[in-house]
Amino acid sequence: MSALQLFIVQRLTALIMAPLVLAHLAVMAYAIHGGLSVAEILGRTQGSWLWFGFYGLFVVAASSHAAIGLRAVLTEWVGFRGRLGGRLRDLGCAVFGLALFGLGARAVWAVTLANTATAGVGL
């Protein structure tokens, strides 16, 4: 990807995540303030395609955003530049982004749809 494309993706994912982060923080605040137990929270998220979409989008955006951010840090603070350094950096960041996506997808699955087949809980 070109520098411009990376810039655009970084800004777009940031714009996508801004409301998601606020909503996530609000949900957490509500849960803590309302004294909801983890079981109660899971009762609302599990089986919900809405929450799956919400956190699924969040994970996709966060993993690409983190990988691109890490790329800048590796370039400037660790000195991964030039032909070989640049390739190593880009490969490393791609692996990191995919790993973060994988872990995030697993978590989203666990929080939302994992038990749908057996439990059959609705929205």
Partner 1 sequence: MSGRLARSHPLWFAHILHRASGLGLALFLPLHFWVLARLLTDTKQVDGFLKLTDIWAFKFAEFGLVFLLAVHLFGGLRLMALELLPWSSPQKTWAAAALVGSGLVAIVFLVRAL
Partner 2 sequence: MERQVPGKEFLSVTVQRGQPGEAVRMQTFQVPAQDNQSVLDVVSWIQQNANPSLTYRFACRVGMCGSCAMMVNDVPRWTCRTHVSKVAKAGVIAIAPLRNLPLIKDLVADLDPFFDKWTDAEAHHHPTRDRDQPIAAVDPDSRERRQANAGIECINCAVCYAACDTVAGNPDFLGPAALQRAWTLYNDTKNADKNAVLDAVTGQGGCHTCHSLGSCTNLCPNELDPTAAIAGLKRASARRFFGRD
Q: Which residues bind partner 1 (CB under 8 A)?
A: 11, 14-15, 17-18, 21-22, 24-25, 28-29, 32-33, 37-39, 42, 59, 62, 66, 69-70, 73, 96, 99-100, 103-104, 106-107, 109-111, 114-115
Phi, psi of 81 (to 5 degrees): -135, 180
Cα gap 63→74, rounded to integer Å: 16
- Candidates 5-13, 25-33, 48-56, 102-110: pick the segment binding partner 2 (CB under 8 A): 5-13
Q: Is 87 in the site for partner 2 (CB under 8 A)?
A: no
What does the chain come to in residues? 123
Cβ(70)–Cβ(96) under 8 Å? yes
Partner that binds at residue 117, options partner 1, partner 2, none, CB closer than 5 to 8 Å by kind? none
The kind and range of the H/E element at 56 are: helix 49-73
Is the Cβ–Cβ distance between 17 and 62 less than 8 Å?
yes
- List of residues contacting partner 2 (CB under 8 A): 2-8, 11, 72, 75-77, 81
